[in-house]
Structure 1
Amino acid sequence: MIRSFGTSEFLFILEAAKWTILMSVLAFIVGGSGGLMVALARTSNSKVLRWAATVYIQIFQGTPLLIQLFFVYFGLPLLGIKVDVWVALIIGLSLHTSAFLGEIWRGSIQAVPSGQSEAARALGIGYVSLMKDVVLPQAFRIGLPATIGFLVNLIKGTALAALLGVVELTRSGQLMANITFEPLKVYGAVGFLYFIICLPLTYASGRIERRLNAGH
């Protein structure tokens, strides 16, 4: 039965937006943890770790996110590992996130003046304390605008979950467009909600970047 796009249809899309946010948060947390490991590997003294991290980054930066999601969702069952679509999405998005954040944070770590690390080693500070207390706090500050910028792209990238049947923001819009035959209104509402979710992050990224560059 065809019906007009109204309040109940908009509320259905709004309800689905929470799954977009949840998916983004989980992928960012899990992928961020992996990204830190990738960044540390990329800046380590070990050639093997640097090579492995470089290959990892090139694979995930050089292939489309959709292919990565398909590879996880359809590939793991071929290996005898059956996963729920949600688990597959979080794994795929987290791998993608770790590669990009790893490269962002690698640049941030290398942007910290090397003299500080040399001074810390001269004082007998070990690697763990050096990274935790000296390098990473400064690197986090340097890389924060780019990190927030990537989070915005990650939120928009979760729209690909619709192709695996997850009823998130984009998929809910597809369903409502099929019911109402008013795609302009429906996708206008979907785009508006993406804008509302991403706008504060975009604003925060720009403001932080301006504050960090105030001294220049």
Structure 2
Amino acid sequence: MLQGIPLLGLLMFFYFGLPVFLNIELPALVAVALAYALYTGAFLGEIWRGGIAAVRQAQWEAADCLGLSRRHVFIHVIAPQALRIALPATVGFLVQLIKNTSLASVVGFVELARAGQIVIAGTFQPLLTYSLVAVVYFALCYPLTRWSRSPEARFNGAG
């Protein structure tokens, strides 16, 4: 259900809507943390549920025939195969999540893109500032993507 709600909508709800319903004041950091936690949990839960569901039923049955407990079956048979399946989608989602942090500025949270806007207001150098912001986003996302290639190659027998 939460996957159908845009992250921006969740941010708006937790910052502007929830305080009205509960009659409390919610700091921007808490609202952003709640929205991102629910958003991330919904998507990663579905990615990993799909990874586990993609493991053939025969794997469960074969491990059961060996007399392994459900816990051992999951840890030693199912989870490694689910990891192989879910890792690319997980990394792709995490990269998307890093880039989506710029949405937090809508509720007054100063993140990387908003900090760039503040710097531009003082320096009047938008090209340089946004170039540096892009370099920082790249520096955050590229290593994550590169790191994921090593396990993926190992899983596929190339490493």
TM-score band, normalised by shorter chain: 0.7 to 0.9
Instruction: Tell whether 2:9 aligns with 1:67.
Output: yes
Mapping for residues 53-132 of structure 1, pairs under 5 Å:
59-80=1-22, 81-122=24-65, 125-132=68-75
Q: Give the match for residue 131 of structure 2.
A: 188
Q: Give the match for residue 84 of structure 2.
A: 141
Contact 2:88/2:148, CA 8 A, preserved across alignment: yes
Q: Which moved more, 1:151-160 or 1:110-119?
A: 110-119
- What is the CA–CA distance in structure 2 between the aligned matches of 1:122 and 1:179, rounded to whole Å? 69
- What is the CA–CA distance in structure 2 between the aligned matches of 1:145 and 1:123, rounded to whole Å? 31
- What is the CA–CA distance in structure 2 between the aligned matches of 1:129 and 1:93, rounded to whole Å? 32
Per-residue deviation, 1:179: 1.1
Q: Which moved more, 1:186-195 or 1:165-174?
A: 165-174
Q: Give the match for residue 51 of structure 1.
A: none
Per-residue deviation, 1:210: 3.4
SS in structure 2 at match of 1:79: helix
By relative contact order (CA 8 Å, sep 6+), the higher-ranking structure is 1
Deviations 1:6-63 (A, max 9, x none): xxxxxxxxxxxxxxxxxxxxxxxxxxxxxxxxxxxxxxxxxxxxxxxxxxxxx33223
Mapping for residues 174-213 of structure 1, pairs under 5 Å:
174-213=117-156
- What is the CA–CA distance in structure 2 between the aligned matches of 1:158 and 1:173, rounded to whole Å? 13
- What is the CA–CA distance in structure 2 between the aligned matches of 1:169 and 1:157, rounded to whole Å? 11
Q: Give the match for residue 153 of structure 1.
A: 96
Identity %: 50
Q: Which runs of 5+ in 2 are unaligned?
A: none
- What is the CA–CA distance in structure 2 between the aligned matches of 1:124 and 1:71, rounded to whole Å? 49
Aligned residues: 157
Per-residue deviation, 1:129: 4.3
Q: Which moved more, 1:91-100 or 1:136-145?
A: 136-145
* CA RMSD, 1 decimal: 2.1
